[in-house]
Amino acid sequence: MSAITQIAPAVAETAPEQQWRRPSYWPFVLPALVVVLAIIIFPWLFTIWMSLNEWKVGSPTTFVGLANYLRLPADPRFVEAVWHTIAYTALSVVLPVILGTFAAVVFHQKFAGRGFLRGIFIMPMMATPVAIALVWTMMFHPQLGVLNYLLSLVGLPPQLWVFNPNTVIPSLVLVETWQWTPLVMLIVLGGLAAIPIEPYESAEIDGANIWQTFRYITLPLITPFLFIAGMIRMIDAVKSFDIIFAITQGGPGSASETINLYLYSVAFVYYDLGYGSAIAVVFFFLIIALAGVLLYLRRRTMWTEIGGGA
């Protein structure tokens, strides 16, 4: 007890001095705050301010309030771009998730050359989008493209691919699927590697076939990973620009024009910065809303119970 009583006054005497000498972390945090304000917050505040004005390059700004936003529902080209974005995003999420899951299940099996084939399979996602677009543009050519040649080998008629308004979006989704299916495969492979072997041993003892094992064991246990892959693909596909612009520039006509491309045309082709800023603000909140819905669904789904009940 005497030792404790001797230490206590010493601590009490040094506590105010330590508190007075406590370093402040503001000098370290302040540069990061300045960068965030300068690069992220200020541009968005300025974009919102521009959306409330009629501002064309070379003309003075005129405050119009919400007039630019009220133009959007009556703009047929914007409404068409919204539907193109929805269709493109939905296909660009569903197809890579399905094909990536199938590829992950295949590459999860042990066979000779598995590592080499995995490396070959993930190569598309490492290529630059413009290079991919140039290669696929040549492949889509109605007369000289290799895709129509492959169709002729199986007796199918040639297609116009990106040169036909009815097939341009599925053709662009084909490029998106080819490039980003490996990403889904890698995410799902991580989930498959984390699954314990005991459920599969029990299923084998019970006489379950391959489909039943996948349906009742593998699929429920990799559902969280599929959700993450789908969310990443959704956010990436809804704001896709480079592939579409490099291949079709929104054509033919405006058949493949998404919100991103229409925003680019309004702001940097027609130089209507006020209306383009309104589209950018709406587009930003659309992405936030989609991400919010997915996060809400993720929180409502009990992933641990899914895994535990499998």
In whole angstroms, give the CA distance from residue 219 to residue 215: 6
Residue 301: the pLDDT is 64
Tens-place pLDDT, residues 123-161: 999 889 899 999 999 999 999 899 999 999 999 999 999
State the burial class of residue 208 (Cβ atoms within 10 Å of its Cβ: 0-12, 13-18, 19+). middle
User: What are the residue ranges spanned by the domains of the chain?
Assistant: 70-309
Between CA 204 and CA 121 the distance in angstroms is 30
Three-state secondary-structure class, residue 113: coil
Tell me the three state secondary structure of residue 23.
coil
Domain over 70-309 is classified CATH 3.40.30.10: no
User: What is the rounded CA–CA span in Å between residue 221 and residue 65?
Assistant: 51
Poorest-confidence range of 35-49, 171-185, 248-262, 292-306? 292-306
pLDDT for 111 beyond 90: no
Question: What is the model's pLDDT at position 57?
Answer: 81
Place 19 in a pLDDT band, splitting at 50, 70 and 90.
Answer: low
Q: Over the Cα atoms of the chain, what is R_g?
A: 27
> Which of the four pLDDT bands, split at 50, 70 and 90, describes residue 292?
confident
DSSP 272: B
List the beta strands (DSSP E) in 100-248: none
Question: Are 269 and 279 in contact, with CB atoms under 8 Å apart?
Answer: no
* CA–CA distance, 68 with 83 (Å, rounded to integer): 20
Condensed to tens digits (0 to 9), the pLDDT of residues 203-214 reads 888 888 889 999
Q: What is the pTM of this model?
A: 0.84
At residue 143's C-alpha, the angle toward residues 141 and 144, to 5°, is 65
Cα angle for residues 76, 78, 79 (degrees, 5° grid): 65
pLDDT for res 91? 95
DSSP bridge partners of 272 = 56
pLDDT for 44-54, tens place per residue? 899 999 999 99
Give the pLDDT band (50/70/90) at residue 36. confident
Give the residue from 272, 240, 275 showing the smallest Cα distance to 259. 240
- Of 285, 83, 239, 109, which Cα lies nearest the Cα of 169? 83
**Distance, CA of 76 to CA of 72 (rounded, Å):** 8
Convert 7-52 into a string of H (helix), E (strand) and C (coil).
HHHHHHHHHHHHHHCCCCCHHHHHHHHHHHHHHHHHHHHHHHHHHC
pLDDT at site 66 = 93
